[in-house]
Structures are given as C-alpha cells and as structure tokens.
Structure 1
Amino acid sequence: MLTDVRKTDRLNLMDQRGLRTSTWNVLTPNAPASKNLLSEELRKNKVSITGLTETRLTGCGEERIGNSDSLLWSGGSTRRNGVDLALNSLARKALLLHEAVSDRLMKARFGHKHGKMTVIVCYAPTSNSGDVTKEDFYSALSRCLATVLPP
C-alpha cells in the first residue's frame, strides 16, 4: 500500500541538533502501555526516526503514539514478523510518502533542506528460514531498492 503525503514545503529535519535515527527489535508493541513507552524512549534519546522490527502488528496503517509521535506499520495477515517506523512530530511533518511493501519491508520518503531521503526498514529472514522465504525476501528488497529515487 502506497500512501502519498505530498508537501509543498520541506522541513528542516537536519537542524542544529542533527537527525538521529535508530533501529530496535521490539518483539511486539501490542501491550496497552508499550506504545507510550516507545514514545517516551524516543523522546528521551532524542530520536527522530526509528525502524522497528518483529512488531507483529497486522495489516498496515498509522496511529499517533505518546503526545505527538506517530507509528506507521506494515504487517501481514498473521501476527508474525512486521516492520514499523516511529517518527517524532518533526519527522512526521517531513514525511512525503510511505509504502507498506510486505510484513518484512517498509519504505518512506522524507523531504529536508538538502533534498529528499528514503528510509527502508527491513526484517530479514534468519539463516534457518527456508530457501523460498529467503529468496522471496531478497527479491522484494531488490525491487524496493530499484524504486528508490535519487535525492
């Protein structure tokens, strides 16, 4: 699912504090207080954009977490795998589009004062996974990378 959030202005994601990104294997944010805890941790660590893996959320969507942060997710039909992007309010305003590629891949594009930036969150299968699962994932990743536009 591709969601286009066209903006006419670019926000300054890279101000004097800098852009801080992170990744986190959270093993599901489904508990009632876990999304607020996630928002608090992002704020405490001054993180703008976080790629989350193994979130186990179904479907795809967006919701507000904490006071002003956002959570975008890409999951399958079962509570397995799943990737998310947690964005602070500034990163959410700079979001141009996001695409839920699969339960293991999500792509987002941001505008900033230097141009545009693409973020891909991926949750690769382990080496114990079957060959078909690994081939499907890496084929999807290759297709996703091929669609990344230049800055």
Structure 2
Amino acid sequence: MDRRGLRIATWNVLILNAPASKNLLSEEFRKNNVSIAGLMETRLTGSGEERIGSSDSLLWSGGSSSSNGVVLAQNSLTRKALLLHKAVSDRLMKAYFGHKQGKMTVTVCYAPTNDFDDATSEDFYSALSRCLATVPPMI
C-alpha cells in the first residue's frame, strides 16, 4: 500500500441496506478517489464481507437488529493490503493493513449519542478501550 495515494474518509450513511445504496457508495468512492472509509449507522445486521462495484469491498459489523452497524469500505489496493479484520460489536470493528513502512491499524466506531443511557455509553467506551489496548505500539 502506497501512502502517497491513500485517501481515508468517514461517513455517517444512515442506511446501507437499501437496494441501490451499495452501488451508489461505490460510485462515490470512485468519484472522490477514496481508498478506505469508515461508515457508521449502516443498519446492516450480523458481520461479513461483500464485493461492491467492480473492485470495492465492504467489511461490516452489525448486531442482531438493524439499528446501528459499522462498515470498513475499501478499494482494491487496500483490500490487497488487508491482513486481518475483526467485527467487535454493532458499533465497533478493527482491521490491520500491511504497507511498505510496516502495519496500520484502522478502528471504525460509532459512539452512542447523549440520548442513550449511561450503561450503553459505558459498555461502548469499555469495548473501545479494550479494542485500542490490543493495537500494537508503533516501532
């Protein structure tokens, strides 16, 4: 993976399970030359991987209901550099990529708003802390 050509984005898409939404997402990626993106509030359930468009792919982490969900979207370059990904919860996932200088960790998270109860927020931030604690230190 060549960092000079890497463009990283985030996007709260509000829904990604509508019929044409994944194709529209792929078109937007190509128009904006996005290499990798963290997408929140996708409303996808379960976890998995799917190819979209001609060369893009989605890795997602969602719960049993379609209320939250996070996605790591990537183009063919970053897909080839992907070493490992882990669906942590419907609000959290991480992925490891290899590149010329070493490795890169990407964490996609969708934090609860202030409208949620304290227990939900505490659960999320505890899971985020545990996830970040497993990121290898930079050398």
Q: What's the TM-score bracket when you normalise by the shorter of the two chains?
A: over 0.9
* TM-score (norm: length of structure 1): 0.89
Q: Identify the match of residue 63 of structure 2 among 76, 86, 92.
A: 76
Letter in 2 for 1:101: V
- Does residue 116 in structure 1 map to residue 103 in structure 2? yes
- Identify unmatched segments of 5+ residues in structure 1: 1-11
Offset at residue 150 of structure 1 (A): 2.6
When you count helix as a share of all residues, which structure comes out higher? 2
* TM-score (norm: length of structure 2): 0.96
Q: Distance in 2 between matches of 1:36 and 1:44?
A: 13
What whole-Å deviation, never above 9, does each CA across 1:28-55 have from its counterpart, x for those lacking one?
A: 1112211011001011100100000000
Q: Identify the match of residue 28 of structure 2 among 14, 38, 41.
A: 41
Secondary structure, counterpart of 2:97 in structure 1: strand
- 2:77 maps to which residue? 90
Letter in 2 for 1:142: S
Secondary structure, counterpart of 2:37 in structure 1: strand
Q: Identify the match of residue 146 of structure 1 among 130, 133, 136.
A: 133
Letter in 2 for 1:14: R
What whole-Å deviation, never above 9, does each CA across 1:55-107 have from its counterpart, x for those lacking one?
A: 01000000000111000000000001100011000000000000000000010
Q: Percent identity?
A: 77
User: Are 1:13 and 1:91, in contact at CA under 8 Å, matched by a contact in 2?
Assistant: no
Q: Distance in 2 between matches of 1:149 and 1:60?
A: 24
- Does residue 102 in structure 1 map to residue 95 in structure 2? no
Question: In the comparison of the two structures, how many residue pairs are matched?
Answer: 138
Letter in 1 for 2:26: S
Q: Distance in 2 between matches of 1:90 and 1:32?
A: 26
- 1:3 maps to which residue? none
What whole-Å deviation, never above 9, does each CA across 1:97-118 have from its counterpart, x for those lacking one?
A: 0000000001000000111000
Offset at residue 128 of structure 1 (A): 1.4
- Does residue 60 in structure 1 map to residue 47 in structure 2? yes
Letter in 2 for 1:119: V
Secondary structure, counterpart of 2:127 in structure 1: helix
- 1:31 maps to which residue? 18
Q: Identify the match of residue 114 of structure 2 among 127, 147, 150.
A: 127
Q: Distance in 2 between matches of 1:113 and 1:46?
A: 21
- 1:6 maps to which residue? none
